[in-house]
Structure 1
Amino acid sequence: MAKQSNEQSSGIPSVFADLTHADADKPFDLSAVDAADKRLGSGDKAQDKLQVEALAVQLDELQNLFYADKRFAMLVVLQGTDTSGKDGTLRGVFGRMSPLGVRTVAWKAPSAEERAHDPLWRIHKALPAKGEIVVFNRSHYEDVLVPVVNGSISDEETQQRYARINDFERALVETGTVICKFMLHISKDEQRERLQARLDDPTKRWKFDPADLEARKQWAAYQKAYAAAISATGTPWAPWLVVPSDSKTQRNLVIATVLQARLQSMGLRFPPAPPELQGLKVE
């Protein structure tokens, strides 16, 4: 069984160094990240969209090789506030990939059965197999965000959950799972515009949840909880990348660029053909 190095951060292009957190002993200043940052953009939205599409095609090819190689699994975490663009990322970055070998899991509030177990119990059942890429739309990090903001767990329990997550992710990496964690970072003004757009558009109104307005009232508390979680769980084996996401095109460009670099750095290869197939002719 192939192992991935604990130093996964090398798969993130250096242009994102200030947006990457891989040291759980140091705090990460989320407030210093400009949600409107467009460092990868050309300045031409149409051209950037074409680049995202080209990257999506390349990712499809790399995913095909990843599936054939079957030495590794990949877990992609998309975490962010309401309207941050998790669904849009799935369409824009992963939409070209074959359903064979790619799976999405959307996490909601835990059920009664799930609450009766430890917070990672339900996560284990959804993890990727070798050759598979699984994308989490929200994730196990909900259990160190919502309960923290609502005050339903103590500071001590929160620290224990951070530690368990770090141990859990390290164990995954040591047994061949690559972990890519993206926090989709939008501004409060951008969220307001996106929520209003949902209300105003009959084709999007079904996505509106009044609970989003209640969570919006806790904006500052959630930003604090995100910063704390990123600070405590950004590690060399599973670093966080905070993705400026006020621009949907820029968000997709960043994530597609990072995933391409990560997959290309893995030395993926097609498995050798069985010897008995050498010279075989189909009649």
Structure 2
Amino acid sequence: MKDVDLNKFKITDSVQLESLPTALEDQPEKHELKKALKATRKKMADWQDKLYAHNRYAVLVCLQGMDTAGKDSLVREVFKGFNSRGVVVHSFKTPTSRELKHDFLWRHYCALPERGKFGVFNRTHYENVLVTKVHPEYILNERLPGVTSINDINENFWKRRYEEIHNFEKHISRNGIIVFKFFLNISKEEQRQRLLRRLRKPNKNWKFSPGDLEERKLWDAYRSSYEEAINNTATKDLPWYVIPADSKHAARYLVARIMQEKLETYQEVQEPSLPPDILENLDDYRRQLEKE
């Protein structure tokens, strides 16, 4: 399969989402993408074993996208073959009453991966500047000082929140968490087709909610919120990756390849060496076991 320049999906500064593709120009065949994903996935699974043994880093994978963007199936396919104890997935829904008693980042801190493990945020801390930006009335549930009406939620409020999110990411990355941020970029037409498939296929009906259609009417507002979030938090050290996602197979492969290439730059992540006194006696330990 023809190699893809992964840098074209990396965002470190301002961007206009409308100008970015939702599909690859030279789309490889499905069987090629599946084969390439399988090989990439194997390399990442091997790296995960070293990550666990090294025990100094963790990996946080942040997935965002419009409804039907393919986040759930991407998690299933990209992390297939990983040690299941080494990957923990969190999907952040409406905050619970307990979570609302804390600051908006508290529940995300609590869900961060331990050293040696992968954590996947399927919907992330960015929901606090996406859904709430489109539905600012939700902010009132946080009972913040000085915020008693929607009129109090102004541009300065969002600017501070972007800054707090960026500081959160800087803090965790400086403490050993390798952060990936992916936006699965689908077209409005592709979303329409995927919603129709949910309605046409009986085994997919359970995924559909009438609320999906109401949120679809807010497509432009959500796209604007995503664009502002990316533009306010994309940096050289903590970039976003905007992934063409009209093809789920292509999106899965691109996410896996981006992760694999970045993770392999951490050359210090290796299995620790055995102490010399144990290493020199390995043959003796083997003989002891073989005699049993």
The TM-score normalised by the length of structure 2 is 0.87
Q: Does 1:87 align with 2:72?
A: yes
Q: Runs of 5+ in structure 1 lacking a partner?
A: 1-12
Match of 1:103 in 2: 88
Match of 1:8 in 2: none
Kept in 1: contact 2:34–2:249 (CA 8 A):
yes
Equivalents in 1 of 2:57, 2:179: separation in Å? 11
The residue matched to 1:112 in structure 2 has which SS?
A: coil
Bigger radius of gyration:
2
How far did residue 259 of structure 1 move?
0.9
Aligned residue pair count: 266
Match of 1:29 in 2: 16
Match of 1:271 in 2: 272
Equivalents in 2 of 1:274, 1:44: separation in Å? 49
Q: Does 1:173 align with 2:173?
A: yes
Once the two structures are aligned, what percentage of the paired residues are identical?
A: 38
Match of 2:241 in 1: 241
1:31-180 paired onto structure 2 within 5 Å: 31-38=18-25, 41=27, 43-152=28-137, 153-180=153-180
Equivalents in 1 of 2:71, 2:32: separation in Å? 22
Q: Runs of 5+ in structure 2 lacking a partner?
A: 138-152
Equivalents in 1 of 2:190, 2:247: separation in Å? 9
Match of 1:182 in 2: 182
Equivalents in 2 of 1:95, 1:205: separation in Å? 25
Equivalents in 2 of 1:234, 1:176: separation in Å? 19
> After TM superposition, what 4+ stretches of structure 1 lie above 3 angstroms from structure 2?
none
CA offsets 1:42-69 (integer angstroms, 9 cap, x no match): x322122111112112211111111111
Match of 1:20 in 2: 10
How far did residue 100 of structure 1 move?
2.1
Match of 1:224 in 2: 224
Greater relative contact order structure (CA < 8 Å, 6+ sep): 1
Kept in 2: contact 1:56–1:94 (CA 8 A):
yes
Kept in 2: contact 1:28–1:231 (CA 8 A):
yes
Kept in 1: contact 2:6–2:258 (CA 8 A):
no
The TM-score normalised by the length of structure 1 is 0.90
The residue matched to 1:243 in structure 2 has which SS?
A: strand
Equivalents in 2 of 1:68, 1:195: separation in Å? 43
